[in-house]
Amino acid sequence: MNPTLDERKILTEDEIRRALTRIAHEILERNAGVEELVLIGMHTRGVPLAQRLSSYINEFEGKDVEVGALDIGLYRDDLAGGTRPLMRPTKIPVDIQGWRIVLVDDVLYTGRTVRAAMDALNDFGRPREIQLAVLVDRGHRELPIRADYVGKNVPTSMDEDVKVRLTEIDGVDDVALLRRGNARIQSGTADGRTI
C-alpha cells in the first residue's frame, strides 16, 4: 500500500454480495421483470458488476437478462488535447431502441462518467429508459445525475478516494476508503514546491 494513503475498508465481500442482491431485487421490482431489459456495465468494474446482477436476477426470476459492456473513452470531457484514451471493447447485445437499460458502474462521483455513457449509448439507438445502478455513491456531483439503485452511500471529502476491488479483476472483493496524506509533507518538501 502507498505510504501516503490511509485505507479503511467500507464494504466486505459479504456486504458487496448483499448490496448486489438487494439491487437485483429492486431492478426486478421497478421493471416488473426482465422483458426488454438490458444491463450494460461501464468499463472497467461496472462490467463484472453487471454480470453478477444478471446472475442474481436469473437466480430469482429464472430468466436471463442480457448483459453488455460499454467503453466511454471517446466520450469523456476531461481528456487534454492529444491524450488518447485506453480503449476497451464495447458490446451491446441487443438493438437498444425502445429497451430499458440499466447502466452499471462501481462508483458514482461527479456524474461526468454517466453523462459520457449516455452520450455513447445514443450512438446505438434511443432506449425507452436509462436507469443507473452503482455499488457506491460518494457524492460531490457536478452534474444533475443520481443513481436509481445504490449499494451504499458513502459521504466523502475531496481528499478521499473510493477503491473498489473485484475478484474478476483484482483477485479480491472489497471496497476501501483511501485518505490521501498531506502531499507537501509526504513528498519531503515543506512549502509544496516540486524538487
What are the residue boundaries of the structural domains of the chain, listed by start? Answer: 12-157
- CATH number for the region 12-157 comes to 3.40.50.2020
* H or E element in which residue 47 lies: helix 46-61
pLDDT band at 81 (very low <50, low <70, confident <90, very high): low
Cβ burial of 75 (10 Å; 0-12, 13-18, 19+) is buried
49-17-153-107 Cα dihedral, nearest 10 degrees: -20
> Per-residue pLDDT for 78 more than 70?
no
> Per-residue pLDDT for 189 more than 90?
no
- 146 alpha-carbon distance from chain centroid: 12
Would the pTM of this model clear 0.75, i.e. be above it?
A: yes
User: Which pLDDT belongs to residue 181?
Assistant: 67
